[in-house]
Chain A
Amino acid sequence: MTIKNPAPPRGRVFFCYKPQALSGAPLCELQLAAYRVPYDVEKRSSGKRMMKKLCMWCCVALLLIFHQDNWFWTDGTLVFGFLPIGLLYHAGISLAAAGLWFTAICVIWPKDVEYSENELAEGSLGKEAEL
């Protein structure tokens, strides 16, 4: 049995096995399944990525909140006898920032910014403004 091509999902579709899917030609159920499954997989992985992004940006917001350390504002304790606790805390914030950004580049590094070796080697990039 053949059915009419489904209405394209709103937004971006990442994957399609057959050029037929775009051509407007009818798809059989098997083809339709093959078309839908990877889309769902991609949708799920996109959802996961969104969650990761959300968590990362929450962590950044949290670090900015911790940066406002009202709790050590008037504390004159000298850690190891020479390091004011407020200074030590903020040095810790700097280290935490490095750790956080390390996690960010591991977890939510943008996928769509890098160019392939071929594109870079061909020198096709950046020609537009030079013309």
Chain B
Amino acid sequence: MQPAFHEQFGELIIIGLYLMLLLGLGLSASRFFKGTRKDYLLASHSIGPFLLLMSLFGTTMTAFALVGSSGEAFKAGIGVYGMLASSSGIIHSLCFFLIGIKLWSLGRRHGYTTQIQFFRDRLESDRIGLLLFPILVGLVIPYLLIGVIASGTVIQTMTSGAFPELFRTDNPATSGGVPNWLGSLATCLVVLAYVFFGGMRGTAWANAFQTIVFMVLGILAFHVIATRLGGEETLLENLRKVTAGVPENKITRIDMSKMKFFTYLLVPLSVGMFPHLFQHWLTARSASSFKLPIVAHPVFIMIVWVPCVLIGIWAASDLIPAKPPLPSNPNAILPFLVKTQTGPLLGGLLAAGILAAIMSSLDSQFLCLGTIFSNDIVTHYYGRERLSDRSQVILARVFIVAIVAITYLLSLFPQRGVFGLGVWCFSGFASLFPLVFASLYWRRLSKAGAYASILTTIAVWSVLFWRSDFGGDREYAVEIFGFETMPVATIFVCSLLAMILVSLCSKPPSEKTLGKFFSTISHPEGGLQMGRK
């Protein structure tokens, strides 16, 4: 029997409408574009507290926040919340407070657009840019690939059955769905369109909208799934009934290593070194704009993660129907539950929510990589004075198109291990955290110390990555004194020690640089410096 039209195409229509809406929003942001490089890349430092909160939160919460959180909770239980979410609540805000505000202030004063500009200036080294450039790009690309591939998978899963003849596959969960390559292409084109035309302003607006979408839809999915699985009259009764059937190892952390849990605390420090967050920080209108993101970020994480973790552990309960069987891939748990427990309307909306989470990270990363290429390589070496403001905007746009095209093409190749790379990317960024922290707070950090820190990070990261079967061993841990620790702990400590030791043994930065970065910007009473002549 032919399914009803709304059942067959419901999800597809909602996803299509959502993408169109997003496109419209991004394009309308372009009407405010002033035509300058500063406006295109930094929204003329006009972003207020609310938009800053939404864009920072949307950027740091990837697809993993919705799909991965429920999948990991299904696999490992509630410990996932402590390991990934509550730790991020503390550490991300710490990074905004200690690193974000200070970098905003220096960036505003000295006119930085990218991290590399800041490090070149602070470390008095032009070549540090050439060293950092491939590292930053290399660590962001797998992160981008995860988003692009995940968007294709989500669209295919949620639209399965829409075109049974046209897109037939062997897997019944995806058969008839819009194929991966097409879903990823549609996502890339929508993101490209609003980043291309709207620049940073379009990105911030789209991020704010998408963050609201995925937060609201996450809570809605939680309510509907609890009601359908429980089948009782009130929400509380449903919650009790569903949770009663969850195995004990999912509501405790008996299967989780305490030391791994502890050392995972270092992973969220990656936020301090994300190049795309640096660019977002610089969009702030004032330092006070950071106050709302600093306070609200942990609460927002809680609002998104607690329902998703609960949905994840419910998937392990005996109330889940035996047919159709649960997917073997934990990341497919949430889309699967939505597909089987809700109607096409909510299914389509939730798919839009997952895409929102994915795209709100992709846009910032595309924009950031385009900015790094145009600003730190081409303009830097060709000469800024030889390029007009307008030419620099065009150059940034050309690079953004190129980055999107390259990422999309890479996503078409089989990417078996790319999802395992996520934590390695974060570990790499987190291990460079001592560098950014010291460059802001330690006068003695020298150029040689910075090189030592970066090279040590590369060396130790590469060795551990190789030992983990290039990310293939998802449970890989470094054993220290009989305790299992996350690889990030080893890389972080080595990077920190190298930086301190080499800095202390090498020539300190010049007085001029120290004056530029460490003299106070405005003294409380407009006072005078008497410490030195």
Q: A residues touching B (Cβ–Cβ < 8 Å)?
A: 8-16, 21-22, 38, 42, 60, 63-64, 67-70, 73-76, 78, 80-84, 86-87, 90-91, 93-95, 97-98, 100-102, 104-105, 109-116, 120, 125-130
A42 touches B296 (CB 8 A): no
Question: Would you call B86 and A67 a contact (CB within 8 A)?
Answer: yes
Bound together, the chains give a CA A21 to CA B262 distance in angstroms of: 54
Q: Are A101 and B93 in contact (CB under 8 A)?
A: yes
Partner of B252, one of A86, A94, A113: A86
| Complex partner residue of A13 from B97, B102, B109, B531, CB under 8 angstroms | B531
Q: Would you give the shortest CB distance from A72 to chain B, in whole angstroms?
A: 8
Say whether A13 contacts B86, CB under 8 Å: no
Alpha-carbon gap, A69 to B302, bound state (A): 17
| Bound Cα distance A109, B102 (Å) | 11
B525 touches A15 (CB 8 A): yes
Flag if B525 contacts A14 (CB, 8 Å).
yes
Whether B295 and A98, one on each chain, are in contact in the complex, defined by CB atoms closer than 8 angstroms, is yes
A60-B94, A97-B89, A110-B102 given as contacts; is B295 within 8 A of A13 (CB)?
no
Contact in complex: B111, A73 (CB < 8 Å): no
13 inter-chain pairs at a CB distance below 8 angstroms, sorted by A residue, are A64-B265, A75-B252, A80-B239, A87-B306, A91-B81, A94-B89, A94-B298, A109-B291, A116-B522, A126-B110, A128-B109, A128-B110, A130-B111
User: In the complex, A84→B288 CA distance in Å?
Assistant: 37
Instruction: Please tell me if the beta carbons of B254 and A94 are within 8 angstroms of each other in the complex.
Output: no
Q: Which residues of A contact B239 (CB under 8 A)?
A: 80-83
A12 and B530 CA atoms in complex are apart in Å by 6
Q: How far is the CB of A119 from chain B (nearest CB, A)?
A: 9
Pick the interface stretch among B17-25, B240-248, B270-278: B240-248
Q: Give Cα A68 to B495, complex, Å.
A: 25
A15 / chain B contacts, CB cutoff of 8 Å: 525, 527
With contacts A73-B253, A110-B102 taken as known, whether A68 is within 8 angstroms of B262 at the C-beta atoms is yes
Interface contact A76-B530, CB-CB below 8 Å: no
Query: Complex: how many Å from CA A127 to CA B109?
Result: 8
CB < 8 Å neighbour of A114 from B113, B286, B310, B531: B286
Q: Is the CB of B524 within 8 A of A42?
A: yes
Given contacts A13-B528, A78-B240, 10 further A-B contacts (CB under 8 A): A12-B530, A67-B82, A74-B252, A97-B298, A101-B93, A101-B97, A114-B286, A114-B288, A114-B522, A120-B286
Q: A104-B97, A126-B108 are in contact. Are A90 and B522 (CB under 8 A)?
A: no
Q: 8 Å CB contacts to A: which residues of B275-317?
A: 286-288, 291, 294-299, 301-302, 306, 309-310, 313
Q: Are B90 and A60 in contact (CB under 8 A)?
A: yes
Q: How many chain B residues have a CB neighbour from A under 8 Å?
A: 69
Shortest distance between the CB of A76 and any CB in chain B (Å): 5
- Cα of A105 to Cα of B295 in the assembled complex, Å: 9
Q: Determine the distance from Cα of A38 to Cα of B524 in the docked complex, in whole angstroms.
A: 12
Tell me, in angstroms, the Cα distance from A112 to B86 when the chains sit together: 30
Find chain A residues with CB under 8 A from B265 CB: 64, 67
With A8-B531, A13-B528, A90-B85 known as contacts, the answer to whether A84 contacts B252 (CB < 8 A) is yes
Judged by a CB distance under 8 angstroms, whether B384 is at the interface is yes
With CB as the reference atom, state the residue of chain B lying closest to A41: B525
Tell yes or no: B521 within 8 A of A by CB: yes
Residues of chain B within 8 A of A16, CB atoms compared: 527-528, 530
A101 cross-chain contacts in B, Cβ below 8 A: 93, 97, 294-295, 298
B211 within 8 A of A: no
Shortest distance between the CB of A32 and any CB in chain B (Å): 14
Residues on A with beta carbons closer than 8 Å to the beta carbon of B287? 110, 113-115
B48-87, CB under 8 A of A: which get 1 and which 0?
A: 0000000000000000000000000000001101100111
